[in-house]
Structure formats: C-alpha cells, structure tokens
A and B are shown apart, each in its own frame.
Chain A
Amino acid sequence: MEPIIRVENISKTFQANNGQVEAVKNISFSIEKGDIFGIIGLSGAGKSTLVRCLNLLEKQSEGNIYIDGKNLMKLSSKELRKQRQDIGMIFQHFNLLMQRNVVDNICFPLEIAGVGRKQAKKRALELLETVGLTEKARAYPAQLSGGQKQRVAIARVLANNPKILLCDEATSALDPQTTKSILNLLKEINQKYGITIVVITHEMAVVREICSKVAVLDHGRLVEEGTVEALFGAPKTEEAKQLILNTYA
C-alpha cells in the first residue's frame, strides 16, 4: 500500500546573513496511514523545518514530498490550499482567534471552506464534545487554560476532517499532567477517525506515550528510524541514546 506521506531526499537550505544554513539534509522516510509518527530531536535539529515542508509552509530546496501519492511541488496554489485543509496543524502557541469565542473559533475554518453558518455551528458543537469542552462553548480564549486552548485548537483542526494532523511541539507549553491528557486525546482521535498524526517534540516521554514509530533527527540529519520499542530497547546510535538518557536523567 502507498504510504500516506512519502518524503524523498529532501534538503532545506536557508539564506542567513552569515552564509547558508542547511537545516535539513537529505532526509527520506515514509509514514503509513493511521500511524502516530514521532519526530524527535534537540532544538535546532531541523524538526520544525521538516514538518513545515510536509504542508509546504516551507518549500524544500531539494527532493519531493508525496501526500497520498500526490507530489506537493506539482500542485497549483489553489490545489495546495485545498490540500492544506486535509493536513491539519497545531502549534505550541495554540493560535486561537482572541476576538472570537470557542464555538466561533472552531467554525472559522468551516466558514472559510464555504460551509453554512448553521451547519458549521452544529459541527463545532459535536467537535467540542469530542475534545470534552462542551461547557466552554461561549468562553473566550483568554478565559481558558493552556490545556483547554489546545483542545479548542484540536477541535478547530478537526473541523475540516483532515487526513493528517501535524503537531509542532503541541504540548511543550503545558505541564506534565495536561500534556498527558492532550496526548490521550490525540490517541483517541487517531483511533476514532483514523487520522495519521505526526508529532514533533523534544521530549522522549511524549514519543513513548503515543507514538508507534519514531525518527530521530540530529543537526538536520535523520540518524535513526524505527518502532518505538526498537528505539527504546536497543538504540543504535549515540544521538538516540543521549536523547533517551536525557529523559531519565
């Protein structure tokens, strides 16, 4: 079966003031449909750049990315926007619209996609139930805790029925307890809707909690890839060992 995400030899070079910076160096991997795939590495390892290439927020300098067999580089900007609605993304900073209440935040991508007001609202309330925040429907983001904000962000991202969900350090601003509950929610979504999830993190604990497969990034290079059990059981590289050790130090 064709993997849902296939990354082929991608590299990304940034033009910085003091010369070129190679953030991602010749990386290839694939993600099967329904997986929860972890990408782990220290800050500056290139994981955020890599994940931004998956929905073309960053354009890679070399290589190709196939989503569902479609080459992202070959899409027109209109097709790309359509494709992006299939690839949800949540961020460390939640990025809710502060002027809108919770329901209206979730309705927002639906309105943009041209869904009617009534239908959007109905869907929003369903999603709020999924993320367990029904009682906060009329609240404004400023009145919510970090974990609740991330739940709203997740509900919003689900509104478009994405096939893939990218999480860029989605739990890094949360305390361990809240992190756990958000991770459980992600797991639930993965099982309930069959959404493929890509998790970017610097915390081994996150990978251990929910991921089925994992890739270790170091200085822009993919140093190790495999199942989580394999990585924890017998890390092959020094970098992976370091990451595991750091977690339990």
Chain B
Amino acid sequence: MQNLGIRVLFMGNNFARLLGGLWITIRISLIAVALSIVFGILLGMLMTVKNPITKALTKIYLEFIRIMPQLVLLFLVFFGLTKSFGINLSGEVSAVIVFTLWGTAEMGDLVRGALISIPKHQYESGAAIGLTKWQVYCYIIIPQILARLVPLAINLTTRMIKTTSLVALIGVVEVLKVAQQIIEANRYTVPDSALWIYGTIFFLYFFACWPISLVAKRLEKKWKTA
C-alpha cells in the first residue's frame, strides 16, 4: 500500500478536496441545465412561430452557438466582456452563462422538433374547448413533449457535466483542476499518482451521471404507460 499511488487520495484532505471540486462541476451543470430547460422550451416555442424575423433570429442564434467551440464562448464571455465592457464576472458565473446559452440552443432545437411532431388536431381540440393559446401549451402540448424530451434532455445533461471540465481554463477550480493540483503537489513523493487520481475522477464522473440516466429511464417508463 505504501508504494501505491492511491495513498495520495488519503493524504491530508485530498479526497474531500476532490469531492469539493466535483460539487463545483455539478453545481455549474445543474444550474445551467435547469435554466436551459426553461429557456429552451421558450426558445423552441418561439422557433415554431411562423414569422420570418423570429425564424431568422433563432436560426442565427442556434447556428452561432453550435458552430462555436464551447471553449471559445467561455473565453469570449470571461475575458471578452471584461476587456471590452469592463464587466467583471467570476469564472463560475461566466461558465453558467455559457453553458446556459449552449444548453438553451440545443434544448430549443429539441423542443422545436418535439413540438412539430405533435399533430395539429391536438392544438385544435384544445382550442375547441375554449382554452387560451397558453393553456393549450400548458395542459396539452408540454406534457406530451416532456415525455418525448426526457431521453434527449438527459443526454444533453450528461454531455454538459462532461464539458464543464473546460471551465478549468478560465480559472474555475473544479474537479479536474483539483486533481491536477494534487498530482503536481505530490509529483516527487508519489510519482505514479496520476493514474490513481484520474482513475478516481473517472468513477466520480460515472457516479455523477449514472443516477441521472437511471432517473431518466424511470421517468420515460412512467410517462409512457400512464
């Protein structure tokens, strides 16, 4: 045990620090995902409006976000805003903004797809019993698209959790950064710690994403049979 790199994990409060880093990763992703779902549904509804201007604007937004690597967006928000406008955002806030922008675009496109897959007579029957447009969405359309969206949204969530590792590059000390710090600090005493620490991170990511998939599977089942 003395010679194994794994002992680094139990030195000092290293493991607790890793968990702390993981919490930052998860906090950024969860806030971004929650915001993305809300804004994504709104964006998706906006994308189905038959108006050339909204159509063009949403399309530009979607393509812009999709083509841009997330890292460039992070730099743009974190460094760009500060340099050009003097707006000073913390790394974590910048990360939440970028991931929300990205998530909203992806989610919006998913919602758009789900919305146009709902047949027209669903909207008509809602209107026919005297519902407002808003009520038709709330009571009839959104419950149906939710069921179709769950697997796609979960996929997006796990992708977001994974992509947050990029935020280390704008100075947010999340789980990967903590790992690097631990490895560097023990470079001379425990030279083979990298494998163990990164291995641990593998499991941390796994146990962060796995429950989400499980929940998704359950929701999907529940909403299908009901």
Q: Real complex partners, A and B?
A: yes
| Chain A residues at the B interface, C-beta cutoff of 8 Å | 52, 55, 57, 77, 81-82, 84-85, 87-89, 91-93, 95, 97-99, 108-109, 112-113, 140, 142, 156-157, 160, 166
Residue in B121, B139, B143 whose CB lies within 8 Å of A93: B121
If over half of B's interface residues share one DSSP class (helix, strand or loop), that class is named, otherwise mixed; here it is helix
Are A108 and B130 in contact (CB-based, < 8 A)?
no
Across the A-B interface, how many residue pairs have beta carbons closer than 8 Å?
A: 58
Residue in A57, A108, A142 whose CB lies within 8 Å of B225: A142
Contacts of A55 in B (CB 8 A): 128
- Residues 174-203 of chain B, each 1 if its beta carbon lies under 8 Å from chain A, else 0: 000000000000000000000000000000
Chain B residue at smallest Cβ distance from A85: B130
A82 to B127 CA separation, bound complex (whole angstroms) = 11
12 of the cross-chain contacts (CB-CB < 8 Å) are A52-B124, A55-B128, A57-B124, A57-B128, A84-B129, A84-B130, A87-B128, A89-B129, A91-B125, A95-B125, A108-B139, A112-B131
If over half of A's interface residues share one DSSP class (helix, strand or loop), that class is named, otherwise mixed; here it is mixed
A113 to B135 CA separation, bound complex (whole angstroms) = 12
A96 to B225 CA separation, bound complex (whole angstroms) = 15
Are B226 and A98 in contact (CB-based, < 8 A)?
yes
B6 CB–A CB distance under 8 Å = no
Are A93 and B119 in contact (CB-based, < 8 A)?
yes
Chain A residue at smallest Cβ distance from B143: A99
Are B140 and A57 in contact (CB-based, < 8 A)?
no
Are A109 and B130 in contact (CB-based, < 8 A)?
yes
User: Which residues of chain B from 43 to 69 have any CB-CB distance to chain A below 8 Å in the complex?
Assistant: none
| Contacts known (A93-B121, A112-B135); A84 close to B127, Cβ less than 8 A | yes
Are B127 and A91 in contact (CB-based, < 8 A)?
no
Nearest Cβ in chain A — how far from B119, in angstroms? Answer: 7
A28 to B176 CA separation, bound complex (whole angstroms) = 74
Number of interface residues, chain B, beta carbon within 8 A: 19
Nearest Cβ in chain B — how far from A180, in angstroms? Answer: 24
A97 to B124 CA separation, bound complex (whole angstroms) = 14
A77 to B132 CA separation, bound complex (whole angstroms) = 9
B90 CB–A CB distance under 8 Å = no
Nearest Cβ in chain A — how far from B147, in angstroms? Answer: 9
Are A95 and B130 in contact (CB-based, < 8 A)?
no
Are B129 and A109 in contact (CB-based, < 8 A)?
yes
A81 to B134 CA separation, bound complex (whole angstroms) = 13
Contacts of A108 in B (CB 8 A): 129, 139
Residue in A52, A81, A98, A166 whose CB lies within 8 Å of B130: A81
| Contacts known (A112-B135, A140-B226); A89 close to B125, Cβ less than 8 A | yes
A49 to B195 CA separation, bound complex (whole angstroms) = 68
B122 CB–A CB distance under 8 Å = yes
User: Which residues of chain B from 94 to 125 have any CB-CB distance to chain A below 8 Å in the complex?
Assistant: 119, 121-122, 124-125
Are B139 and A95 in contact (CB-based, < 8 A)?
no
Are A88 and B226 in contact (CB-based, < 8 A)?
no
Chain A residue at smallest Cβ distance from B128: A89
Nearest Cβ in chain B — how far from A114, in angstroms? Answer: 11
Residue in B125, B131, B223 whose CB lies within 8 Å of A81: B131
Residue in B121, B131, B135, B226 whose CB lies within 8 Å of A95: B121
